């Protein structure tokens, strides 16, 4: 390696490290001007291009670099870029190739862990996160990723130790405090409330204050102070809601488009539909979807593929719309005219990268697929659909109490009680459409019924899914498969009834919601 080239490479990497993409591109370009086949120059230019938002360009450069020099660092970053453009199959193949000679640096190992996690393979991700922490123990992001994965895998004590070590390094790391509060039910004699209160008081960042507010509310609820918990939560959500440009009209337009598209969708062609029978678990979030997924995937003939975006992406692909929104009125209207058989095959191809055993049937438990029940029914005639229903008041409260993906605009409705109520009302109306339009295709399973009669409702559930009885489904809490949702701790316990009727403890604060439902003709008892 020449001295001049070495300096340019070093300068390009240094520029990347400080976020100066223009300088990184310039240094990498000078390396390639001397040798267009310089793998390191191609790699650095690809990283710079993708970091500037030109993902496809970055992929081309990294692909070329890997072809010349298939080292682990290049492959790790290429796999990451593949996930950004939803090429999960290419990402998985690139990761498997990288495993032959894993990279030696901490960033690449953490990147590999993140890609595995994105693909739903948390067991494979953990080793890479652990190695990243070993190589760079002072990096709190690597430690956080390791702790999250330990939690997904049910290794709660190790996750707790990892988070305490992280907080010792970074006392104000809000994500760590938030996750730590969720690992277990806190006790009056053993909790983090005092520390959380002090951390929240000195925090000035809006996102951090939201995370810390949720953590503090959760622990107050755990130790038997529900009123203080809800007061804390109301303040945190109101503060965050003021920062959002959200209006319910945006979600209402999507509901309107779905309902209006059904006549077209019902008559759309469906060439050579697949006979595969995936099981879709849909509904409002926090209504028991993870519990039902755990019950079904405890059956020896079924595995869980987790919460997939595969159906929404297949619909988006069929629509051919170029706007960035995955679901919007234009996309729904265009997709309703597409070939449903193509959508079904596209879904199955995308889902295949999240399956472990192709011989098993699989579940997709993305709750938001309730928007796509019409597409599912037409695109996959053998698919089974289960919709979780829960008391409307408990549904509103549970959505309000749970912090979803903060950066996702899909959940902007969840920070205001009346926004959630309005969203629920449209969900309820859409389910009435599917009930009428798709008789027998959607089993509406009530969470309260499942809690009161676990075996009877489980038999009903398995029968709808075309599955024989299996005692394992009653012992779902012993299932050791990873859980990557906010319900991770709950579904590792036997069925419990504490959440049924929880809203009644807060009837005064929820009175406007109850009035809204009364006016909408939605029963709350």
Q: Would you give the end-to-end CA distance of the chain in angstroms?
A: 75
Q: Decide if 512 is inside a domain.
A: no
What's the pLDDT score for residue 488?
54
Nearest to 512 by CA among 408, 520, 76, 331: 520
* 472 assigned to some structural domain: yes
The string of pLDDT tens digits covering residues 284-301 is 999 999 999 999 999 999
The count of domains in the chain is 1
The pTM of this model reads 0.88
The low-confidence residues of the chain, meaning pLDDT below 50, are: none
The reply to whether 229 falls in a domain is no
Phi and psi at residue 398, to the nearest 5°: -65, -40
Q: What is the DSSP string of 405-435?
A: -TT-GGGGGGGSHHHHHHHHHHHHHHHHHHH
* Order of strands, sheet of 302-304, starting from the edge strand that comes earlier in the sequence: 302-304, 361-364, 279-283, 384-389, 442-446
Closest CA to 280 of 385, 380, 376, 374: 385
Residue 26 lies in a domain: no
In this prediction, residue 19 carries a pLDDT of: 82
Q: Is the CB of residue 419 less than 8 Å from the CB of residue 413?
A: yes
In a domain, 270, yes or no: yes
Q: What is the pLDDT of residue 490?
A: 58
Q: Is 195 helix (H, G, I), strand (E, B) or coil?
A: helix
97 to 69, 77, 175, 525: CA distances (angstroms): 13, 13, 32, 56
Q: Is residue 218 part of a domain?
A: no
Instruction: Check which CATH number belongs to the domain holding 319 and give it.
Output: 3.40.50.300
Tell me, what's the pLDDT at 489? Answer: 54
Instruction: Identify whether 222 is part of a domain.
Output: no
Q: What is the pLDDT of residue 483?
A: 59
Range of the domain at 302: 248-390+438-494
């Amino acid at each position: 390696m020449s001295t001049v080239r070495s300096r340019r490479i070093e300068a390009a990497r240094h520029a990347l490290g400080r976020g100066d993409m223009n300088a990184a591109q310039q240094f990498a370009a000078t390396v390639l001007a001397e040798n267009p086949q310089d793998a390191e120059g191609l790699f650095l230019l690809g990283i710079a291009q993708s970091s500037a938002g030109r993902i496809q360009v970055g992929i081309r450069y990294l692909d070329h670099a890997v072809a010349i020099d298939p080292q682990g660092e290049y492959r790790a970053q290429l796999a990451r870029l593949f996930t950004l453009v939803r090429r999960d199959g290419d990402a998985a193949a690139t990761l498997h190739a990288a495993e032959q000679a894993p990279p030696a640096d901490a960033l690449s190992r953490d990147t590999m862990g993140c890609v595995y996690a994105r693909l739903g393979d948390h067991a494979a991700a953990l080793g890479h996160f652990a190695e990243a922490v070993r190589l760079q123990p002072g990096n709190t992001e690597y430690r956080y990723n390791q702790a999250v994965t330990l939690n997904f895998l049910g290794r709660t004590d190790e996750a707790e130790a990892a988070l305490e070590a992280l907080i010792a390094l970074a006392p104000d790391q809000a994500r760590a405090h938030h996750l730590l509060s969720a690992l277990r039910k806190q006790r009056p004699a053993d909790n983090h409330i005092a520390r959380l209160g002090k951390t929240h008081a000195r925090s000035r960042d809006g996102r951090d204050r939201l995370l810390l507010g949720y953590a503090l509310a959760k622990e107050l609820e755990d130790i038997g102070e529900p009123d203080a918990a809800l007061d804390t939560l109301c303040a945190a959500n109101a503060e965050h809601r003021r920062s959002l440009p959200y209006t319910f009209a945006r979600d209402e337009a999507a509901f309107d488009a779905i309902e209006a598209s059904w006549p077209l969708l019902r008559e759309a062609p469906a060439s050579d539909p697949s006979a595969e029978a995936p099981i879709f678990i849909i509904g409002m979030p926090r209504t028991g979807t993870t519990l039902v997924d755990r019950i079904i995937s405890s059956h020896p003939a079924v595995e869980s593929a987790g919460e997939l975006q595969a159906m929404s992406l297949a619909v988006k692909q069929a629509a051919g719309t170029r706007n960035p929104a995955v679901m919007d009125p234009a996309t729904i209207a265009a997709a309703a005219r597409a070939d449903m058989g193509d959508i079904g095959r596209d879904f199955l191809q995308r889902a295949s990268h999240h399956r472990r055993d192709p011989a098993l049937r699989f579940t997709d438990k993305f709750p938001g697929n309730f928007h796509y029940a019409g597409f599912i029914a037409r695109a996959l005639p053998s698919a089974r659909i289960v919709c979780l229903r829960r008391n409307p008041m408990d549904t509103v409260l549970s959505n309000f109490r749970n912090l979803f993906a903060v950066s996702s605009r899909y959940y902007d409705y969840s920070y205001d009680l009346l926004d959630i109520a309005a969203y629920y009302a449209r969900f309820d109306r859409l389910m009435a459409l599917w009930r009428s339009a798709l008789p027998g295709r959607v089993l509406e399973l009530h969470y309260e019924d499942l809690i009161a009669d676990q075996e009877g409702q489980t038999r009903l559930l398995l029968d709808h899914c075309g599955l024989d009885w299996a005692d394992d489904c009653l012992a779902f809490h012993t299932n050791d498969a990873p859980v990557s949702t906010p319900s991770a701790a709950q579904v590792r316990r036997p069925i419990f009834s504490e959440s049924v009727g929880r809203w009644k403890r807060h009837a005064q604060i929820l009175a406007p919601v109850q009035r809204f439902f009364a006016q909408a003709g939605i029963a709350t008892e």
